[in-house]
């Protein structure tokens, strides 16, 4: 399975990274209103960082590569 660039994945990844950046910027407000306040600031910052990483993976279209390899390992299928 080779790498294939996709403009759709690129723009979707940019949108996900923008959401993650906004989440990172306003994580304290989100934690205060939806979480347990100050005690969950670091947890929400970690979720925001994970969203940015996911956006980068989608933007570079590597999420299909990672999922494909993971499924091959789990189901022990040989690639053709």
Q: In this structure, what is the dihedral angle of CA atoms 13, 18, 19, 22, given to the nearest 10 degrees?
A: 160
**Residue 58 to residue 19: CA distance in whole angstroms:** 13
Q: What confidence tens digit (pLDDT) does each residue in 34-58 have?
A: 888 888 899 999 999 999 999 999 9
Extended strands (E) in 1-80: none
Q: How far is CA 29 from the centre of its chain?
A: 21
**Residue 2 to residue 48: CA distance in whole angstroms:** 30
Q: What is the rounded end-to-end Cα distance, in angstroms, of the chain? A: 9
Indicate whether 3 pLDDT > 90. no
Predicted local distance difference test score (pLDDT) of residue 25: 95
């Amino acid at each position: 399975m080779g790498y294939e660039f996709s403009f759709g994945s690129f723009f979707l990844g940019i949108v996900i990274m923008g959401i993650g950046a906004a989440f990172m910027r306003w994580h304290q407000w989100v934690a205060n209103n939806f979480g347990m306040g100050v005690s969950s600031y670091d947890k929400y910052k970690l979720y925001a960082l994970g969203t940015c990483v996911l956006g980068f993976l989608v933007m570079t279209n590597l999420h299909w590569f990672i999922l494909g390899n993971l499924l091959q390992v789990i189901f022990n299928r040989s690639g053709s």
